A and B are shown apart, each in its own frame.
Chain A
Amino acid sequence: MQKGEMQKEEIQESRIQEDIKIAVLRIEGTNCEDETVRAFRELGVFAEAIHLKQLYSDMIRDDEKRRLADYSGIVFPGGFSAGDYVRAGAIFSARVKSVLRKDLEDFIMNDYPILGICNGFQILVELGALPGFDEDRPLAETPEMVLAINNSNRFECRQSLLKHENKGKCIFTKNLGEQIVMFPVAHAEGKVTFPASAEKAYLERLIDNDQMVFRYVNEDGEYAGYPWNPNGSVYNIAGICNVKGNVFGLMPHPERAFFAWNHLDYPRNEIDDYGEGRLIFQSMIDYIRKLK
């Protein structure tokens, strides 16, 4: 690391305020926790990647033990948790349910925010936290939707254009207007699928409740099929929130569009130090500040 960079890191560390603590939960196979932690720290709040076991195991050293209640925000990061065995996110979700179900339900019911990115979205879906229609039961007994294998049967890894459609419910996109953002996708299982018999009803509920957040569009801002919709998601859905707006899952990666230099057009198109992905993390922090 060069001297200039080191100084910058130090300055950054010194302005981190610990009034807000964010937990980025990891297990074997998650791989986006570092970028996600970096995003929060860049915005001046404390964030750390913690292993799920640090929250419940009695085999953990005292100084490494953590409690969910000490955090004011949780992120399930991207990656391939537990090797995507069984189904993407299924094993992480089963482990969370077995040890933290009540804690997580309290967390959501107490208005604290949970963000799931890519594999994190899959985990929230398997947990029954999304679509999350029932405010009093934030984790449904069985999953109500699935992120199924992409129609292309391929790992789709590239930029995607997303139209922000939320009208104010989702606390993670408050800093976004009616705009189109570009975040990259990288997944093989991202096709939003509802039970065939309930698809129309679920879509109507998502729209009526203002739970629709991002939809895939083409370069003209129109809803379009493959490759613009990388996976075949119904209604071009890329991200949705729960009925309270404090649980949000999306397949594309805002943490990979955090800095200006993450952008495809950098430096031709540099207008700011940051990319549009920052707005998701900033909105989450702004919301937590108001909660306190």
Chain B
Amino acid sequence: MIADVYIELKEGVTDPEGESTKKALKLLGFENVKNVSTRKVFRIEIDENDRGKAEEEIVQMCEKLLANPVIQKYSIKWIS
């Protein structure tokens, strides 16, 4: 099975990468840009047929390495 794991900043946390990207886009003339925020995506292929079990395992991965709960949250999107 393959999952896309999205790591993003919690609401209210400053996103300096998003902010400076927005600034650069505006400079390039994209006046309509209202907001830019960043995420990181890990595509994880996992050797497991039970989606429930696979999801549990991915949650563990997020808690143990992929996300720092102080400022980040995660979500999982199944690709196959």
Binding site for B on A (CB under 8 A): 86-87, 90-91, 94, 126, 142-146, 148-153, 193-196, 232
Task: Please give, as numbers and ranges, the residues of chain A lying within 8 Å of B12 by CB-CB distance.
Answer: 196
B70 and A145 within 8 A (CB): yes
- Report the separation of the CA atoms of residues A33 and B13 in the bound assembly, to the nearest whole angstrom: 33
> Which partner residue on chain A sits nearest B21 by CB separation?
A153
- Contact partner, A87, options B16, B63, B68, Cβ 8 Å: B68
Is B58 an interface residue, CB under 8 A from the partner? no
B49 smallest CB distance to A (angstroms): 26
A86 and B66 within 8 A (CB): yes
List B residues 31-80 near A (Cβ within 8 Å): 63-66, 68-71
A151 and B68 within 8 A (CB): no
For the complex with contacts A151-B16, A153-B20, 14 further pairs of A-B residues with Cβ separation under 8 Å are A87-B68, A91-B65, A94-B64, A94-B65, A144-B70, A148-B13, A148-B14, A148-B71, A149-B16, A153-B16, A193-B71, A195-B71, A196-B10, A196-B12
Task: Please give, as numbers and ranges, the residues of chain A lying within 8 Å of B69 by CB-CB distance.
Answer: 142-143, 195
- Contact partner, B70, options A146, A151, A153, Cβ 8 Å: A146
Given contacts A146-B71, A193-B71, contact A152 B16 (CB under 8 A): yes
Task: Please give, as numbers and ranges, the residues of chain B lying within 8 Å of A194 by CB-CB distance.
Answer: 70
- Size bin of chain B's contact surface: 10 to 19
B19 and A153 within 8 A (CB): yes
Question: Can you report 19 residue pairs joining A to B where beta carbons are below 8 Å apart?
Answer: A86-B66, A87-B68, A90-B65, A90-B68, A91-B65, A94-B65, A143-B68, A143-B69, A143-B70, A144-B70, A146-B70, A146-B71, A148-B13, A148-B71, A151-B14, A153-B16, A153-B17, A193-B71, A195-B70
B51 smallest CB distance to A (angstroms): 24
Task: Please give, as numbers and ranges, the residues of chain A lying within 8 Å of B13 by CB-CB distance.
Answer: 148, 193, 196
Task: Please give, as numbers and ranges, the residues of chain B lying within 8 Å of A151 by CB-CB distance.
Answer: 14, 16
A128 smallest CB distance to B (angstroms): 11
